[in-house]
Amino acid sequence: MPQITRESLMTLEAYSRARNEFRAKVIAHKKKRTIHLGEHVTLLFEDELTMRYQVQEMLRAERIFEETGIMEELAAYNPLVPDGTNWKATMLIEYEDVAERTRALERLKGVEDRVWVMVAGHTRVFAIADEDAERENQQKTAAAHFLRFELTPQMIASLKADASLAMGVAHPAYTVEVAEIDPVSARALAADLA
């Protein structure tokens, strides 16, 4: 699967000119890759385009134009691009009310390890969470986590043959199941797999 390369990035000047159009393209792309698991958990399945957008935004925000800084950003974001046998997702725990969010994050400790995907006819695959850094402490979990779902060759073959896909969370304080992911989203995710 493609990684973000130095050659795929725009210069700061070129990105400034293309930003609005590129941003609109990425937002439309993300819609197919965003899965809501109940009211409070959202998974955004990342790929080369979503991560390239993040790199471009970081370079812009930090005014990074030197080669060393650009390569550091690539090193930070390329591990979040799926490699053909897995999906990588940003998980967001969302509560509008700050006090309610604080209480929920205390109750939801460990939730990042209880998120799952399931290809029809196969067993659930639970997320491998936060390989880059610990995002939980003794009191609470974080509002954002990075997840990886490793799929077997059989699961990948089933998805490529249009098997249905389910996702959910199996945590004592938050249990939800989406029995069938929208076929448009399922096909977008299947395209990430080799």
DSSP result, 73-87: HHHHHGGGS--SSEE
Could you give the residue range(s) of every CATH 2.60.40 domain in the chain? 34-46+84-194
Cα–Cα distance measured from residue 27 to residue 36, given in angstroms and rounded to the nearest whole number: 16
pLDDT band at 131 (very low <50, low <70, confident <90, very high): confident
Asked if CATH classification 2.60.40 holds for the domain at 34-46+84-194, the reply, yes or no, is: yes
Average pLDDT over residues 16-40: 97
pLDDT at 157 exceeding the cut of 80: yes
| Nearest Cα residue to 50 out of 58, 42, 62 | 58
Question: Does residue 140 sit in helix, strand or coil?
Answer: coil
Mean pLDDT taken over the chain: 94
Question: Quick one: angle between helices 12-31 and 48-62, nearest 10?
Answer: 140
pLDDT (0 to 100) of residue 133: 63
Contacts (Cβ under 8 Å, ≥6 apart) of 109: 136, 140, 141
Rounded percentage of the chain residues whose pLDDT exceeds 90:
91
Q: State residue 30's pLDDT score.
A: 96
Separation between Cα atoms, residue 6 and residue 11, nearest integer Å: 10
| CB-based contact 127:115 (threshold 8 Å) | yes
Distance between alpha carbon 95 and the CA centroid of its chain, in Å?
Answer: 19
Strand order in the sheet with 174-178: 125-126, 115-119, 165-171, 174-178
Radius of gyration of the chain (CA): 18
> What is the structure's pLDDT at 134?
64
Residue 132: the pLDDT is 66
Residue 139 is predicted with a pLDDT of: 80
pLDDT tens sequence across 44-76: 999 999 999 999 999 999 999 999 999 999 999
Reduced to 3 states, what is the DSSP secondary structure of residue 110?
A: coil
**Token code pair at residue 108:** 């939801």
Which pLDDT tens digit goes with each residue over 75-116? Answer: 999 999 999 999 999 999 999 999 999 999 999 999 999 999
Q: How far is CA 102 from CA 80, 106, 141, in A?
A: 27, 6, 10
pLDDT band (50, 70, 90) for residue 151: very high
Closest to 179 (Cα-Cα) out of 62, 14, 37: 37
